[in-house]
Amino acid sequence: MGNILNVKLGVCRVTFGGVDLGHTIGGVEVTYSPEYHETKVDQFAGVSERWLVGEKLSAKVPLAENTLQTIKNAITHSTDNTDHVTIGSEAGKRSSTFAKLLVLHPVANEDADRSDDVGIYKAHVSNEITIGYKNDGEQIVEAVFDGLVDEGRSDGNLLGMIGDSL
């Protein structure tokens, strides 16, 4: 039988490297994307096996507080110069150097209750950043944080976690 207490609202607080990223607009979404190689043999018409060949864990975070720090967090290879952010780097920089722990914590839960938290261990923003200047909406900085493999962790725990173990 179902339990109505398992129905939850999804508003969450987002921290990146322990720093609160502020308000969001439009909801935060977490996506897990497995990639498989399918084996088909002549004898059977269907797929006989699927082999995991890759995984992706990401979080789409529409950041509502358009500050220099928000932009710095959203543009992985930018440089923070206190009163401005500069953009444009030479090719070959590693994103893992800038990766940090991203944590999504439901605001309905007490701070100590991490039972519904989502964490991406080595997250960095990998998407194109657009800052809109229009008269009928907020300047949202939509950041997609992708997880990189954390080699210091065990198999099955390389990208992130859901629940109370951060």
Domain ranges of the chain: 11-36+48-162
Residue 85 has pLDDT above 80, yes or no: yes
Among 72-81, 95-104, 130-139, 156-165, the minimum mean pLDDT is found in 130-139
Average pLDDT over residues 65-88: 91
Mean pLDDT, the chain, integer: 93
pLDDT at 66: 86
Indicate whether 88 pLDDT > 90: yes
Q: Is the pLDDT of residue 22 over 80?
A: yes
Contact 127, 141 (CB under 8 A): no
For residues 15 and 102, the answer to whether their CB atoms sit within 8 Å is: yes
User: What pTM, to 2 d.p., does this model score?
Assistant: 0.91
Q: Work out the number of other CB atoms within 10 angstroms of the CB of residue 39.
A: 10
